[in-house]
A = this chain, B = another copy of it.
Amino acid sequence: MFPTRQAARRLALQSSRRWSHSVAPSPRLNPVTEKDLAYFSSILQPSSILSTLSPSKLPASELDPYNTDWIGRYKGTSTTVLRPRTTQEVSEIVKYCNEKRIGVVPQGGNTGLVGGSVPTGSGEVVVNLGNMSNVRHFDAVSGILVADAGCVLQSLTDYIAPQNHIMPVDLGAKGSCQIGGNVATNAGGLRLMRYGSLHGTVLGLEVVLPDGTILDLLSTLRKDNTGYDLKQLFIGAEGTLGIITGVSILTPPAPQASNNVILALPSFECVLPLFKTAKRQLSEIMSAFEYIDRTAYDLAVKHGQGRALNDEDVEGAACFVLIETSGGKREHDEEKLNELLETLMTADKPIINTGVMSQTPAQFASMWALREGVTEAVSKEGKAYKYDISVPLSSFKDVVDVTRERLREKGLLGPKAVKHVIGYGHVGDGNLHLNVVADAYTPEIEAALEPFVYELVAKYKGSISAEHGVGVMKTHALHYSKSNTAIEMMKRIKQVFDPNGIMNPGKVLP
């Protein structure tokens, strides 16, 4: 169901060469010196400091994991990584850096996909939260969890599982990413449709501001209307407004049962009525509604990613939908799913050709494998240009068709150029993965796609980054999704929190 770390790294590497603007080091910031290191040594335990400077003199390779991002595209040259153990230590580090005008890069699990978690070359100090990994409190009655920002997502999942709760966020990187990083990137993931975004489930944050002040907003209240909801600013700010050191989050009760079904549809036009009908009949138990177009499905099957339907069932199918339910009682959920299938099959104008419901955990997993395997299949088929965008549900197919047409016009469609243009993604969240699968990366294809795709997204008032954020990778494209007024207001807010621009320089804002 989830790609492994290796697979994800490889896939991402393949698509990484498309991004080529460079980041100018900020002139106002100073690099870390030996004198600074001496100061850090006076406030931190020796094991909390990694540096190539004297007296530590570690080989640069030891800092590589902190300087290099997950996709291997961005590589910083920081000399010093600090791994504080307490909020107080974070505060003292940041206060000092602010006084000395040293850039600070907050780093969680370093699994971000837009180069936000590594230094840009201004001699920043990396503040890695990995040593702050204690659960502070869990209330099994309310489901409210308070944890250090450095807790790994998987470890929190494991911590609350015996109490029958689950984290409201789940994603492929859960074995490495931290809850602080999830909040800083406003991570979406597999449960967003059901449990909503972190803007709704995060109840409170503890943040060290760029001047070292500790801002305690670590509320455990579901309701609190006393002034501006400041914590919201840090959710998705990608570490540019402060370092998150603690998180309070509402965790839902674990569902008692999960089911899924794969449906073959006669045309794209059936997706939306299907979504509507499923929402009505499955209501609160529908936890995923995933779209796969025919080409994506065929690629997944071709490359051995599962084969959920028989040949005759697939015949005439324009696209596929995977629906998952997570409810309080298996029999009830199955009954609802069966009733849904009946409604669909017996409609005057049938909405589906056929459907298969998983009967065993193995089948459940293999249906997900098909959907999740599209990524793997794409990488086996060729070199992929990948776009993670939000557009209105009704335009999913248009976006794919128009992009394909564009490439055809430019004479770039064919076995030696672009082989496939496919679309798949989370219909429930309006999140489309647009993949252009080519024989090789070429400047022509890149020029045909960008800024074309961004402009297309902008035309639909969509988002150029549905989940992954801006980081250093998309600052130049921010204006396709945000107005000048909005960007100007963001800059002013940045100025309020971080007048010296020390916090994650070069990220998010152009």
Contacts and interface: CB of A to CB of B under 8 A. Distances in A.
Interface of A: 139-143, 164, 185-186, 188, 192, 196-197, 199-201, 209, 213-217, 219-230, 232-233, 235-237, 241, 253, 255-256, 272, 275-276, 279-285, 326-329, 332, 335-336, 390, 392-394, 428-431, 461-470, 474, 478, 481-483, 485-487, 489-490, 492-493, 495-497, 508-509
A223 B469 contact: no
A465 B300 CA distance: 53
B229 A236 contact: yes
A26 to B, nearest CB: 19
A469 B229 CA distance: 12
Given A223-B429, A226-B463, A328 B236 contact: no
Contact of A140 (B276, B335, B462, B492): B276
Contact of A280 (B192, B200, B253): B253
A429 B209 CA distance: 29
Name, among A225, A229, A496, the residue most crowded by chain B CB atoms within 10 Å (CB to CB). Answer: A225
A442 to B, nearest CB: 28
Contacts of A483: 215-216
A326 B486 CA distance: 39
Given A223-B192, A223-B429, A253-B280, A489 B230 contact: yes
B272 A284 contact: no
A4 B6 CA distance: 61
A486 B232 CA distance: 13
A233 to B, nearest CB: 6
Nearest to A199: B199
A510 to B, nearest CB: 10
Contact of A470 (B225, B329, B482): B225
Name, among A224, A233, A466, A508, the residue most crowded by chain B CB atoms within 10 Å (CB to CB). Answer: A224
A237 B428 CA distance: 30
Given A225-B236, A226-B481, A328-B336, 13 more contacts: A197-B200, A200-B200, A220-B392, A223-B466, A224-B390, A224-B463, A224-B466, A226-B465, A227-B470, A227-B486, A228-B236, A228-B493, A229-B232
B228 A431 contact: no
Given A224-B466, A229-B232, A489 B215 contact: yes
A327 B199 contact: no
B464 A226 contact: yes
A459 to B, nearest CB: 14
Contacts of A253: 279-280, 283
* Shortest 6 CB-CB contacts between residues of A and residues of B: A200-B200, A232-B232, A283-B328, A224-B463, A223-B466, A221-B390
Contact of A281 (B226, B237, B328): B328
Given A253-B283, A490-B228, A223 B463 contact: yes
A328 B282 contact: yes
Given A227-B478, A228-B237, A222 B431 contact: yes
Contact of A225 (B279, B463, B489): B463
18 contacts: A140-B276, A142-B392, A196-B200, A197-B222, A199-B199, A200-B200, A209-B485, A215-B485, A221-B462, A224-B481, A226-B481, A227-B236, A227-B470, A228-B490, A229-B232, A229-B236, A281-B328, A284-B284
Nearest to A466: B223
Contact of A466 (B221, B462, B465): B221
Contacts of A285: 284, 328
A451 to B, nearest CB: 15
A390 B224 CA distance: 7
A176 B192 CA distance: 33
A193 to B, nearest CB: 8
A4 B281 CA distance: 34
A169 to B, nearest CB: 13
Contacts of A275: 141
Contacts of A486: 215-217, 227, 230
Contacts of A219: 461, 463
Contacts of A430: 142, 221-223
A25 to B, nearest CB: 22
A115 to B, nearest CB: 14
Contacts of A214: 485
B188 A509 contact: no
B468 A225 contact: yes
A215 B283 CA distance: 34
Contact of A332 (B329, B469, B478): B329
Contacts of A215: 483, 485-486, 489
Contacts of A492: 496
A482 B226 contact: yes
Name, among A164, A283, A464, A490, the residue most crowded by chain B CB atoms within 10 Å (CB to CB). Answer: A283
A125 B438 CA distance: 61
